[in-house]
A and B are shown apart, each in its own frame.
Chain A
Amino acid sequence: MPYLRDLHLYCLAAAFLLLISSCGPSHRENHKEHTGEKKIGILLLNHGSRSERWKEPLLELEERVSEKILEIEGVGGIETAFMEHARPSIADGLKAFDSAGCSDIVVIPIFLTVGTHMFDDIPTIIGLKANPASLEKLKLENIERYTPEARVHLAPPLDFSDILKKNALRRAGGLSVEPQHEGLVLVGYGSTEFDRQWTELFDEVGDHISRETGITEHATAWCGHVAHYSPDSTTAVVRRMLSKKQRAIVIPLLVSTSEAFQIDIIGNAIAALKDHGKRVSYKPDAILPDPDLERWVIDIAREYADSIGTRRISSPTVHQ
């Protein structure tokens, strides 16, 4: 049949048309234009660590929320990415969504609050900013930058919700025996540049626990870069608390568990105190796993997916 004879020519022509139509102009202009069709990728982003123990809860978080997130209209995939020290990297995740033909990527940071990573480094990695200090740091630390073809939406960190308050309350409640004789110490990573925001957040969480439990005193200790990753700062804060109260409850407000933070730094900080066995209640746990956080991730994914459908959001924080 004559039309069958020319079939290979039609196929070649179709392949050629497909090829030229897929070659866009410049990278920035290459954001996919959508004719009502949306395909959204959800990227659960966290700091990353070399510790397998640290990675596990974050990968489990993805497993637990996947089913519900993939049910959201327009969502075509979900990935977990680590900013540093672990794979898949942010660039890996974004590339995977680009390859899958996503029109939009919603980056959900599993970070406590604003910090240098949240405000400058991550937006620089995903191509929303080009902060000079971040660019140099990323190069030095071998972190790949990738500006996806899909539109990127950066969701807010955890402090925009009540998750931290509920989470810390549940964990403190589990350790508290006589609230009137106890003081609470919240231990967090901390931030030099965003110290005010971190201090305010931890104070808010502490106040909430005080109101709900009757533990009248609370204090904050930093264990990250601000404290040079040394246990001394935590030891000093807990010691001060023990000078006022009979017992101290120590809660690590860290996203996940790692040997370095919960065991070496905080654990050793407590072990350095006299009578710590009797006077300090500490469990080397973390914010994850947390059903409220899982719900928050699902809700924020849904909120962004709906907004993308009606084009109510673009990049939420950056003004170009």
Chain B
Amino acid sequence: MKTRTRDSLRKLNNILHRDLGYFFAGLIIAYSLSGIALNHIDEWNPDFIISKTTLNFERTYDRRSITDEDIATLSSRAGESSFRLYDFPSERQVKIYFRNATLLVDLEEGTGEYEKISRRPLFYQVNVLHRNSVKWWKWASDIFAGTLIVITVTGMLMLRGRNGFAGRGKWLISAGMIPPLIAVVIQHMQ
């Protein structure tokens, strides 16, 4: 290949890497954040902040004789002026529904757990993207994934010489493949 052609290709390669990198910078950070959040889904709720308050009503109730007035009283103790509806998860419990919260009352113990749910700022939004909660986003996400490959490959070909792919590049790429390979081998052995 002529030197001029090679230089033009390399220039195109670098432009692609630079501009695609700029264009997708926000999304790369969003997906990385969401990736960390969803990785730990068993340890925390990455989408919602659920605040719980325990209440003591200092009296017990009987499911069979509970009235709307009782429910209103229980609701007011949780700071709610009105309730939407109530239902009985079990013989000894009643769950009261409010606009943005619920109150689960243990009728026999006279205690309750008031639970309020709100979206976890930033994480909820990035998780919406990562989970493809918007139907058409799947396609945008596919394009993004394809572009990440382009950014990576163009990144590998950016430099020449001892810092290029043929130099330290090949060693670092090989080293980077070791941790995932170890993980796959361990999983296979189990």
Q: Using a CB–CB distance below 8 Å, which chain A residues touch chain B?
A: 114, 119, 123, 129-133, 136, 139-142, 193-194, 196-197, 228, 272, 317-320
Contact = CB atoms under 8 A, between A and B. Distances in A.
Contacts of B47: 136, 140
10 contacts: A119-B89, A132-B97, A132-B100, A132-B116, A133-B115, A140-B127, A140-B131, A196-B90, A197-B90, A319-B87
Contacts of B102: 131-133
B163 to A, nearest CB: 44
Contact of B42 (A133, A193, A228): A228
Interface of B: 42, 47-48, 50, 84-90, 95, 97-102, 115-117, 119, 124, 127-128, 131-133, 135, 190
Given A131-B102, A140-B127, A140-B131, 10 more contacts: A129-B87, A130-B97, A132-B97, A132-B98, A132-B101, A133-B48, A140-B47, A142-B135, A228-B42, A320-B84
Contacts, number: 58
B48 A136 contact: yes
Contacts of A130: 84, 97
A320 B85 contact: yes
A314 to B, nearest CB: 13
A114 B87 contact: no
Contacts of B97: 129-132
Contacts of B115: 133
A201 to B, nearest CB: 12
Given A130-B97, A133-B102, A228-B42, A140 B133 contact: yes
Contacts of B98: 132
Contacts of A129: 85, 87, 97
Contacts of A132: 97-102, 116-117
B123 to A, nearest CB: 12
